[in-house]
């Protein structure tokens, strides 16, 4: 132990801790076995007096403090001591709240508490207070890529908050697809007191406000607009992105930015794929976007069909045209805005000519947004016909024959009309998938896999950001090509720290949703700028100053850390050694878990800090009949679920010892081997949901852990241990009943198969 370190412990006896546990024995354990130089007791450590005691000790030289009280998730503001390294022993939620208060449980409950004291002290001895790398500087400039409604809104929001914006748009005008619309779907609910008989009170199509947005952009003093421009290269990291902007006029503009918002929007689905609906065979079959142009041309007059200029007297809208379908070249998802758009467009016709026959053929009618159901009712009251039917064919001619399956009567039928409007969807304009690029680079030359990937990349869309990252040129994708950003758990967050996705490039959405999305992304970008200026981590470990470092002389240049990092934070130098970019790093520790030679660590989290916790738990011999279950619980979902379980009175086996980890991706296989060799009877790993509907705060951490754990069977076989002794589970933060049960089930399994032979 370094002479500069002063280790001090604090034991709280409030919240029932002192009533259930032998505080004197815990203090003795902390000093004698935990090797703390001082250890103090307080009846309510989180109150002003207790906090002052800790602060005074830090002022007088305490460098490392151990707090034995409540969960590390509780009293975070009170126990915020950035001047010292800190660990916490969870005696409240982790011990007394999960064990019944009976005399026969007193011994095992005390043993749990003493183990958590030992483990926290052991961790404390192996960590240090992290400090900034010194590579940071505050750059408040924000780059927005895409000049549609999303990009313009994000620019205005950031600029209003005092952050200069450069807005890059590849075309010659701002506005995107929204500028082509005649009117917008209403974004406000019906007025209070609306009745079914008063159509005027129901929401109606509203004027398009894109021109107003453009005017606000042009008049903003701190927004610079680059039209006919694209991003030629992006390098660097949050706080110091270096971007080259290629302009149509010739010169390339180089600038530095603190954060980036990608608002590259969408491309309309290619209706040429819909031959069954006579698109291309008849000019009177148009898409929803093309109908907007007809409406704009008509102005306040009647809409006329393209073939002969005849005023439209009957129109049919075919919903889900080429979408929500598993057919080849169709879109398998709902594009989110098409139903409300068709209602809006049907009202165009009804407002001009109430006698026009407007029919909407739908399977499911979806009207999201504030106007929602009321807007559907507005269409009904204007006598728009809503027919539950699935169109099968459009036959061209002087009139169009629409054949469909009536889903109410379950019979084939048909209607004739002057015009057919196809409610086609959107395709995300998200650039090529970098993981396909990475797979291509790593595939064996001449292999069939290499050739398949080559063909896929040849037809991939052009790059949006042209990132000079080891992990590819663009933002990773989720399903269906939408830019990675989980729409439930982590909106705007992408796998490239400091780069935020917003609008329909992220998921299907309408204009109002895109504007709301843009505001959220702008706030995230501002947070990234400020965190980067202070050298702090972004979501989810906001405020963490630590960053990974490695012991170069031990590195084998295996590149596993560079490949497995979910965030592109690690490149390689010219000799193949890892090259860390701490501002891109989310501090998940996946690189640490990936390293086979254990040379990667953080100041406040390392292979050794966890190993010491494992080794400093007391392992009774086989005759004591007190097994030990080691639990690695993700701090983002599993550990909070266990805390909530304790608050709800769920009981936990006294044999469990829980170690919170930053992410299951940070788990090094050596921890599993070492724990089994040390005599633990079972190991439970609890992480977040993975795969397409991932809830992992670090995106791929749980998936990577599952891949690694698939190899544990070989380790167990080599140790002559049963495979049931190691279990990995996906746990949601809401699993307050299931989470403790999984641990209790492992205790039952050990009772069935017996304690570890390594104890004998």
DSSP annotation string for 586-633: ----HHHHH-TT--EEBTTB-HHHHHHHHHTS----GGGT---EEEEE
Domain boundary pick from 405, 427, 449: 427
Q: Are both 86 and 173 inside the same structural domain?
A: no
- Helix, coil or strand: residue 215: helix
- How far, in Å, CA of 170 to CA of 25, rounded? 70
Judged against a pLDDT cut of 70, whether residue 327 lies above it is answered with: yes
Q: Are both 750 and 652 inside the same structural domain?
A: yes
Mean pLDDT of the chain: 93
- Alpha-carbon separation of residue 400 from 71, 310, 318, 420, 679 (angstroms): 69, 14, 13, 7, 78
Q: Are both 111 and 173 inside the same structural domain?
A: no
- 221: confidence class by pLDDT, cuts 50, 70, 90: very high
Domain presence at residue 314: yes
Domain presence at residue 596: no
Q: Tens of pLDDT along 584-619?
A: 999 999 999 999 999 999 999 999 999 999 999 999
For residues 238-248, average pLDDT: 95
Q: Are both 628 and 728 inside the same structural domain?
A: yes
CATH, residue 239: 3.50.50.60
Q: Are both 661 and 757 inside the same structural domain?
A: yes
Q: Are both 44 and 90 inside the same structural domain?
A: yes
Q: Are both 109 and 125 inside the same structural domain?
A: yes
Q: Are both 49 and 86 inside the same structural domain?
A: yes
CATH, residue 687: 3.40.50
Q: Are both 121 and 147 inside the same structural domain?
A: no
**pLDDT score at 2:** 46
Pairing of strands 183-184, 206-207: antiparallel
- What percent of the chain is predicted at pLDDT more than 90? 80
What phi and psi values does residue 719 have, to the nearest 5 degrees? Answer: -95, 5
Judged against a pLDDT cut of 90, whether residue 712 lies above it is answered with: no
Domain presence at residue 381: yes
Nearest CA-CA partner of 99 in 647, 513, 653: 653
Judged against a pLDDT cut of 60, whether residue 3 lies above it is answered with: no
Domain presence at residue 448: no
Boundaries of domain holding 685: 619-760
Point out which residues pair with 259 in neighbouring strands: 142
Q: Which DSSP helix (H) or strand (E) runs through 328?
A: none
Q: Are both 194 and 334 inside the same structural domain?
A: no
- 199: confidence class by pLDDT, cuts 50, 70, 90: low
Domain presence at residue 520: yes
Domain boundary pick from 129, 159, 178: 129
- Helix, coil or strand: residue 318: strand
**pLDDT score at 64:** 98
Q: Tens of pLDDT along 496-538?
A: 999 999 999 999 999 999 999 999 999 999 999 999 999 998 8
How many domains does one find in the chain?
5
Q: Are both 202 and 187 inside the same structural domain?
A: yes
Q: Are both 286 and 422 inside the same structural domain?
A: yes
Domain presence at residue 452: no
Judged against a pLDDT cut of 60, whether residue 83 lies above it is answered with: yes
- How far, in Å, CA of 431 to CA of 231, rounded? 12
- Alpha-carbon separation of residue 412 from 386, 399, 403, 516 (angstroms): 17, 19, 7, 42
Pairing of strands 726-730, 682-687: parallel
Domain presence at residue 44: yes
Domain presence at residue 387: yes
Task: Identify the residue whose tokens are 């999984």.
Answer: 742
Q: Tens of pLDDT along 424-457?
A: 999 999 999 898 888 888 888 888 899 988 888 8
* pTM listed for this prediction: 0.91
Domain boundary pick from 377, 410, 427: 427
What b/e string do you get for 229-257 counting C-beta neighbours within 10 Å, with b at 16 or more?
bbbbbbebbbbbbebebbeeeeeeeeeeb
Judged against a pLDDT cut of 60, whether residue 224 lies above it is answered with: yes
């Amino acid at each position: 132990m370094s002479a500069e370190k002063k280790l001090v412990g604090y034991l709280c006896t409030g919240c029932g801790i002192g009533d259930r546990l032998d505080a004197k024995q815990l203090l003795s354990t902390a000093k004698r076995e935990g090797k703390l130089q001082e250890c103090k007791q307080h009846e309510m450590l989180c109150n002003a007096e207790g906090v002052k005691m800790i602060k005074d000790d830090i002022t007088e030289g305490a460098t490392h403090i151990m707090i034995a009280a409540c969960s590390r998730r509780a009293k975070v503001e009170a126990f915020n001591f950035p001047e010292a390294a800190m660990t916490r022993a969870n005696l409240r939620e982790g011990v007394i709240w999960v064990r019944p208060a009976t005399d026969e449980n007193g011994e095992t409950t005390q043993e749990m508490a003493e183990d958590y004291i030992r483990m926290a002290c052991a961790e404390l001895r192996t960590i240090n207070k992290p400090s900034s790398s010194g590579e940071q500087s505050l750059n408040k400039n924000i780059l927005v890529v895409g000049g549609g409604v999303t990009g313009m809104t994000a620019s205005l929001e950031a600029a209003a908050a005092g952050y200069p914006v450069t807005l890059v748009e590849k075309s010659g005008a701002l506005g995107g697809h929204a500028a082509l619309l005649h009117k917008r779907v209403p974004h406000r609910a019906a007025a209070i007191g609306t009745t079914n008989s008063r159509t005027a009170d129901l929401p109606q199509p509203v004027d398009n406000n894109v021109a107003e947005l453009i005017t606000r952009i042009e008049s903003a003093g701190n927004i610079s607009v680059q039209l006919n421009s694209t991003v030629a290269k992006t390098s660097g990291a949050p706080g110091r992105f270096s971007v080259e902007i290629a302009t149509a006029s010739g010169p390339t503009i180089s600038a530095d930015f603190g954060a980036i918002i990608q608002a590259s929007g969408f491309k309309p689905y290619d209706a040429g794929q819909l031959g069954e609906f006579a698109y291309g065979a008849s000019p009177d079959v148009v898409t929803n976007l093309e109908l907007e142009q007809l409406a704009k041309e008509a102005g306040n007059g009647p809409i006329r069909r393209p073939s002969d200029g005849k005023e439209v007297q009957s129109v049919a809208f075919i919903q889900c045209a080429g979408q929500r379908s598993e057919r080849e070249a169709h879109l398998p998802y709902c594009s989110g805005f098409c139903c409300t758009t068709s209602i809006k467009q049907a009202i165009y016709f009804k407002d001009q000519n109430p006698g026009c026959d407007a029919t909407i053929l739908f399977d499911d009618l979806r009207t999201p947004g504030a106007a929602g159901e009321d807007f559907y009712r507005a269409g009904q009251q204007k006598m728009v016909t809503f027919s539950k039917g699935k169109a099968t064919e459009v036959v061209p001619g002087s009139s169009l024959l629409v054949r469909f399956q009536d889903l109410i009567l379950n019979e084939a039928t048909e209607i004739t009309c002057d015009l057919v409007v196809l409610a086609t969807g959107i395709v995300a304009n998200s650039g090529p998938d970098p993981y396909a690029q990475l797979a291509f680079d790593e595939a064996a030359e001449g292999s069939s896999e290499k050739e398949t990937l080559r063909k896929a990349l040849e037809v991939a869309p052009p790059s949006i950001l042209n990132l000079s990252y080891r992990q590819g040129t663009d933002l990773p994708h989720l399903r269906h090509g939408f830019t990675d950003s989980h729409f439930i758990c982590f909106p705007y967050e992408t796998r490239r720290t400091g780069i935020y996705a917003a609008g329909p490039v992220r998921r299907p959405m309408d204009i109002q949703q895109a504007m709301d999305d843009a505001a959220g992304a702008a706030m995230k970008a501002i947070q990234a700028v400020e965190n980067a200026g202070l050298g702090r981590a972004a979501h989810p470990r906001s405020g963490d100053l630590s960053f990974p470092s490695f012991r170069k002389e031990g590195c084998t240049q295996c590149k596993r850390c560079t490949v497995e990092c979910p965030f592109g934070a690690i490149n390689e130098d010219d000799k193949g050694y890892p090259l860390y970019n701490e501002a891109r790093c989310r501090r998940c520790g996946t690189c640490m878990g990936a390293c086979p030679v254990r040379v990667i660590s953080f100041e406040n989290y390392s292979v050794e800090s966890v190993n010491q916790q494992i080794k400093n738990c007391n392992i009774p011999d086989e005759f004591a009949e007190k097994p030990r279950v080691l639990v690695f619980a993700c701090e983002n979902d599993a550990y909070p679920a266990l805390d909530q379980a304790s608050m709800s009175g769920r009981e936990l086996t006294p044999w469990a010892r829980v170690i919170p980890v930053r992410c299951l991706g940070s788990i090094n296989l050596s921890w599993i081997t070492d724990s089994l060799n040390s005599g633990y009877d079972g190991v439970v790993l609890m992480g977040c949901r993975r795969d397409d509907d991932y809830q992992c705060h670090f995106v791929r951490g749980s998936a990577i852990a599952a891949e690694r754990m698939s190899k544990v069977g070989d380790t167990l076989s080599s140790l002559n241990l049963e495979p049931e002794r190691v279990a990995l589970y996906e746990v949601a933060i809401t699993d307050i009943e299931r989470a403790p049960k999984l641990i209790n089930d492992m205790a039952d399994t050990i009772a069935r198969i017996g304690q570890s032979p390594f104890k004998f």
